[in-house]
Amino acid sequence: MVLIAAAVCTKGGKTIISRQFVEMTKTRIEGLLAAFPKLMSTGKQHTFVETDSVRYVYQPLEKLYMLLITTKASNILEDLETLRLFARVIPEYCKSMDELEIAENAFNLIFAFDEIVALGYRESVNLAQIRTFVEMDSHEERVYQAVRSTQEREAKNKMREKAKELQRQRMEAGKKGGSVKSPGFGGGYGSGSNFTPSPNVGDSANYIPEPAKSTYNIMQKPISAGSGAMKLGGKSRDVDSFVDQLKEEGETVSTPSLPTSGSKLMSISSDAAKTEPVHLKQEEKLNVRVSRDGGVQNFELHGLVTLNISDEKWGRIRVQLDNKDTRGMQLQTHPNVDKELFRTKGQIGLKIPSKPFPLHTDVGVLKWRLQGQDETALPISINCWPSENGEGGCDVNIEYELEQTDLELNNVQINIPLTIGSNPIVSECDGEYSHEARKNILVWSLPIIDASTKSGSMEFSVPNSRPSDFFPLHVSFTSKTAYAKIKVNEVMLVEDDSPVKYSVETVFFTDNYEVV
């Protein structure tokens, strides 16, 4: 069967929710749904009605109809079986069969509908599986929300401290008959003012972020009131952008690498080459947990190939893959992909070759997973050696080694935790480092690690510390080189095997990489 759409509508013909499973215009689906009430005939017990182009299969639900729109070539028995499953899903999320209750639970119902049908074809799922899939909780979302909440709380505290400091300065200046001048207007700080210059952040203790930009760097020369002076009435800022405001004030603020394929993937994809009408994206994310004394506690790699077609004339294609990976990758194709074709020829194509892939949609066609505890599988290894120095502190030697020399890792960051209030003294460092005092971490940054820079080290000492204070270490990186030895070799038309122009984007990144 080919299911075009599923909808819940009233007996008067009003559509409450509708989910389309194939590419179609809004006008087309609205026309199909509007035609349904006019085709209903009274006094008959049929559960379907046909037109010249489509078939309507429906089931009454008190004052509503559960409606499926399919092609006329679909199997009516399969249609009715699918309809019964749709009808059983609705009471799972709605306490009553009325219009208001359906509308309030629309998103849950749509998510459930998507589990029943994919690309117009029925999935082999039951009611219990649908319930489990829809209710699955996202660990990545909870981590992101926790980090965002912490950032906002820290930023608010910093704003209050700045406002209190300004109020104290104004009180001191008032006692001496002076006034606080903004360095942005070229007045400078007079010799009679014995306070430390600080950014001008407002005029009251209850600071409210304003659009005005006010930055001051004590390492710069006094700024004259010219083109670089303070500008009022600039671009308005979102009240939630506390981190951006801190950066404007000269504070070092680092945003941690979150595991959402969201922001990280956007930054990687922004510089991707112009895509062809047939575009493939190969994404891999890595989860690693390594013991500080050596040994891999957990290694898990997840990969996914998605296909996006933007021109309908290239819809019926096959993708030739070259798999040279011998590390035991567990490969799995989409249910609608011809598994025998993939097994024998390494090609990705639909089970029904005459059917095209969906347009303007990222369709996952192949995924893989690699798990194990083999240290040789690590893309990069981190060796951290903290040792007590006999003065109540620790000397720390930390080094990295690129284990997979065919990889090129970008924007590598190694976050080393520190004791509260400590000030590390770095004696040697390959790359760059920064001390984020508010977060009590030392960040070791390396813009690129490849075969020419496959190893590096950093040495520092920290007073009043113990060796266990420097764990767990967190490592993050991105790469445009795939970890798995799987690549796209060719894309061809189903009809005559003629080659098709295509583009490939590769993204490999860490979801969570820690040394504990």
pLDDT in tens, 336-357: 999 999 999 999 999 998 899 9
Q: Which of 137-141, 372-376, 482-486 has the lowest mean pLDDT?
A: 137-141
Nearest to 383 by CA among 402, 404, 364: 402
Residues 302/364, Cβ–Cβ less than 8 Å = no
Angle at the Cα of 419 from the Cα atoms of 425 and 150, rounded to 5 degrees: 115
User: What proportion of the chain, given as a percentage, has pLDDT over 70?
Assistant: 79
What structural domains and CATH numbers belong to the chain? 3-134 (3.30.450.60), 141-248 (no CATH), 261-376+483-515 (2.60.40.1170), 380-479 (2.60.40.1170)
Mean pLDDT of the chain: 80
pLDDT tens per residue across span 457-483: 999 999 989 999 999 999 999 999 999
92, pLDDT greater than 50: yes
Rounded to the nearest 5°, which phi and psi values hold at 190?
Answer: -70, 160
What type of residue sits at position 219? M
Residue 435 pLDDT level (bands cut at 50, 70, 90): very high
Q: What is the pLDDT of residue 427?
A: 92
Tell me, what's the pLDDT at 368?
94
**Least confidently predicted of 128-137, 183-192, 273-282, 479-488:** 183-192
pLDDT band at 244 (very low <50, low <70, confident <90, very high): low
Confidence category of residue 513, pLDDT binned at 50, 70, 90: very high
The confidence band for 247, taking pLDDT boundaries of 50, 70 and 90, is low
The pLDDT assigned to 164 comes to 87
Q: In this predicted structure, what is the pLDDT of residue 265? A: 43
What pLDDT, in 10s, does the model give residues 137-182?
Answer: 667 777 888 888 888 988 988 898 888 888 888 888 877 764 444 4
Q: What integer pLDDT is reported at residue 342 of this predicted model?
A: 92
Residue 240 has pLDDT above 60, yes or no: no
Cα gap 170→180, rounded to integer Å: 6
pLDDT at 493: 94
pLDDT recorded at residue 235: 43
> If you write DSSP's letter for every residue of 340-400 in order, what string do you get?
HHHHHH-EE-BSSTTSPPPBSS-EEEEEEEEEE--GGG-SEEEEEEEEE-SSSSEEEEEEE
Lowest-confidence region among 44-48, 390-394, 454-458: 44-48
pLDDT above 70: residue 362: yes
Can you give the pLDDT at residue 384? 93
Structural contact between residues 336 and 353, judged by C-beta atoms closer than 8 angstroms: no
Give the pLDDT score at 248: 56
* Total-model pTM: 0.49
pLDDT at 196 over 60: no
Q: Please state which of the ranges 63-67, 331-335, 491-495 shows the lowest mean pLDDT.
A: 63-67
Token readout for 195 is: 């306070």
